[in-house]
Chains A and B, each alone.
Chain A
Amino acid sequence: MNPAMLSLELAVIGLALAVLLIDLWTLHEFKHRLGYLAAAGLLVILVASLCCASTGEPPATGFSGMFVQDGLALFFKRIFLAAGVLVVLMGVEFRDRIPMGLGEFFTIILMELAGMMFAASANDFVMVYVAMEMMSVSFYILISFQRSRSYSLEAGVKYLILSALSAGLLVFGIALIFGTSGRTNFAVVAAEGTRLAQNKLFCLGALLVLLGLAFKISAVPMQMWAPDVYQGAPTPVTAFLAIGSKAAGFVLVLRVLFVAAPALALHWGKLFTWAAALTILYGNLCAIPQRSLKRLLGYSSIANAGYILLGVAALNPPGSVAVLYYLAGYAFTLAVIFIVLCLVARDSDDIAVLAGLNRRSPLLALALTLGMISLAGIPPLAGFFGKLLLFKAVLEQAAVHRSYLWLALVAIAGVVISYYYYFGVIRAVYWSEEGPEMTPIAVSAPLKVSMGVCIAAMFYLGLCPDAVLSAAAKAVQALRF
Chain B
Amino acid sequence: MTPVGLQHYLVVSVLLFCLGLLGVLVRRNVLVIYMSLELMLNAANLALTAFSRFNNNLDGQIIVFFIITVAASEVAVGLALIVALYRRRHTTHVEDMTALKN
Contact = CB atoms under 8 A, between A and B. Distances in A.
Contact of B24 (A126, A141, A161, A183): A161
Given A140-B77, A157-B85, A178 B59 contact: yes
Contact of B100 (A141, A165, A178, A232): A232
B81 A156 contact: yes
B74 A171 contact: no
Interface residues of B, number: 43
Give the one of B30, B43, B102 with max A CB within 10 A: B102
B7 to A, nearest CB: 12
A136 B77 CA distance: 10
Given A179-B51, A290-B102, A153 B63 contact: no
A130 B70 contact: yes
A175 B48 contact: yes
Contacts, number: 127
Interface string B38-76: 001101110110111001010110010011001001100
Given A171-B44, A171-B67, A158 B78 contact: no
Interface string A140-174: 11001001001101111110110011011101101
Contacts of B77: 137, 140-141, 160
Contact of B99 (A151, A171, A174): A151
Contacts of A167: 41, 74
Interface residues of A, number: 42
Main secondary structure of the interface of B (DSSP, over half): helix
A290 B101 CA distance: 10
A289 B57 CA distance: 54
Given A154-B97, A172-B17, A161 B47 contact: no
A182 B74 contact: no
A23 interface: no
9 contacts: A126-B63, A126-B66, A150-B89, A151-B99, A154-B99, A160-B81, A165-B40, A168-B17, A172-B40
Given A133-B73, A175-B44, 18 more contacts: A129-B70, A130-B70, A136-B74, A137-B73, A137-B74, A144-B84, A150-B88, A151-B100, A154-B97, A157-B82, A160-B34, A172-B40, A175-B48, A179-B51, A183-B59, A227-B100, A228-B101, A295-B102
CB-based closest 5 A-B pairs? A168-B40, A179-B51, A175-B47, A171-B44, A228-B100
